[in-house]
Amino acid sequence: MAACGDGPASEPGDKKVMLYSGRNEALIKPLLDKFTQQTGIEIEARYGTTAQMAAQLAEEGDRSPAEAFLSQDAGALGAVNKKGLLAPLPPEVGAKVPATYRAQDGNWVGVTARSRVLVHNPTLVKAEELPSSVFDLTDARWKGKVAIAPTNGSFQAFVTGVRLQHGEAKAKEFFTALKANDVQILENNIAIVEAVDAGKVPVGLVNHYYLGEIAKERGTTPDKLNAKLHFFAPGDTGAMVNVSGIGVLRRSGTDPDVRALVDFLLSAEAQTDFAQRTFEYPLVAGAPAPAYVPPLADLKVPAIDLNDLDTLEASIALIKAAGLTP
């Protein structure tokens, strides 16, 4: 059920949890409803973009009615944590997830993982022509052929990854060069995959799971789409893996209802649901990964600490400076 987010905070053990969700309602609500059915604990959710929810939490501070924050990416969790708003999670909770995908201080934990990829149309781009590095996309041969969604949180986190791995100067140079190479700016990842699938643009930068989502909407499977996924070379920033995750607000750190929600999201049932319904990588051992992508353990990700993806404002400023805002 939707909530305005400015009501009184619930009490520990009152069978209610106020959740600020940066994840899309259509994606997450079915799972939250299942949690309520199993536990009797009501979820009062406020939905918005991850950036909006993080900003709201920062503005409200300790006055916030939120008890938990479900984020689309690690950067927003880090930003909220930097404000001192998140409580340490019990060690046994964090231990369910590989150390790479949880906070170093134990104050948030990844729920699912998503890899950055290049979606491409094989009729427009031959396999041998696909770039090994995301930085190759500024070459003249890619002029006007690349689509991005700069207002999307996953793209903004990717910008942060470039800044972290290569420094501010190279990041600015790269994104300015993308703009100069007539990069195509679309609304979101879904629009990119649909455009590539329809042959309107050869390639686009997206998260892996959108291919599965679109195939499901069309009543088919990813292998039947024209659009295909290309994973960049090991260690390349274009192969960055980010997480969706959850943190518990400091004043609710010992609330058993909130703990029950966190445990549920990391259960085999919920992790399997994410893999099968939203096509994300599960992070808890034992849950099956989506069939159309390599196993998460096989991905050779760049040396980027997800704990450092908390400088969102600087990345948005760089996107604007490069002229990539629509």
Structural domain boundaries in the chain: 16-113+241-294, 114-239+310-321
DSSP 146-204: EEE-TTSHHHHHHHHHHHHHH-HHHHHHHHHHHHHTT-EE-SSHHHHHHHHHTTSSSEE
Residue 149 Ramachandran class (φ > 0 left, ψ -120 to 50 alpha, else beta) = beta
Write the CB contacts of 264 (distance below 8 Å, at least 6 apart in sequence).
35, 38, 39, 270
pLDDT of 164 reads 95
pLDDT at 2 over 60: no
Residue 316 CA to residue 319 CA, distance in Å, equals 5
Instruction: Give SS3 for 28.
Output: helix
Residue 185 CA to residue 204 CA, distance in Å, equals 10
- Given the candidates 3.10.450.50, 3.40.50.620, 3.40.190.10, 3.40.50.970, the CATH classification of the domain at 16-113+241-294 is 3.40.190.10
Q: What is the CATH number that goes with domain 114-239+310-321?
A: 3.40.190.10
pTM, two decimals, is: 0.89
pLDDT at 7 over 70: no
Same fold? 16-113+241-294, 114-239+310-321: yes
Q: What percent of the chain has pLDDT over 70?
A: 96
Write the CB contacts of 155 (distance below 8 Å, at least 6 apart in sequence).
148, 149, 205
Average pLDDT over every residue of 3-17: 63
Q: What is the pLDDT of residues 176-202, one digit of tens each?
A: 999 999 999 999 999 999 999 999 999
Instruction: Give SS3 for 87.
Output: coil
Q: What is the pLDDT of residues 214-264, one digit of tens each?
A: 999 999 999 999 999 999 999 999 999 999 999 999 989 889 999 999 999
Position 145 confidence tier, pLDDT thresholds 50, 70, 90? very high
